[in-house]
Amino acid sequence: MTVVLTERMNAWIETMGCHLCVATLQGEPFVVLGRHAQVMAEDTVAFALAEDEVKVAASVLSENPWVAFGVSRQGGIRAAYQFKGIGEVLRSGDVFDTVSARAKEEKGIDAAAVLSVHLTELYCTKPGYEAGLRLDGMAPEEVDAWERQRWKDVPRKRA
């Protein structure tokens, strides 16, 4: 399926960061905090990871490339989504250079790698009857309209 992030989703992801989950093929989960997230395209998000964070995720991703993530802090309530996709650990190249430079400038993170996630699935995690609703089957304009009916707030980055 296709995932196209809305402007509101972009803002929540980039402002709050995300909790990233990877799992072994046996289902053992590992979670790291993606303190710096950057939307690279309508269906791709990149996370700057410090060396200790890369150590947790990289070996697991080599056997199972699936990544799930949700917005951290207040975003878990106000941006009630679970994003899933295929992750790739980047240690060099244009994406690595762009994301690691911005992470250093904005949050002081010395990125050892960048986790780039190409999104393929999107779920609602809002409590109630819509919990678990799969949204990636909707057209992008339908997702945008669906979201606008439920939420109006967009976070602002701190200066």
Predicted confidence (pLDDT) per residue in 55-67, tens digit: 999 999 999 999 9
- CATH superfamily ID and name for 7-137: Electron Transport, Fmn-binding Protein; Chain A (2.30.110.10)
Reported as a pLDDT band with limits 50, 70 and 90, residue 157 is low
> Alpha-carbon distance 12 to 86, whole Å?
20
Tell me how far the alpha carbon of residue 145 is from its chain's centroid. Answer: 21
What's the pTM?
0.92
Handedness of CA 83, 15, 35, 100 (dihedral sign): positive
Q: What percentage of residues in the chain have a pLDDT greater than 90?
A: 81
More confident residue, 30 or 131: 30
**Averaged pLDDT, 96-124:** 97
Sequence length of the chain is 159
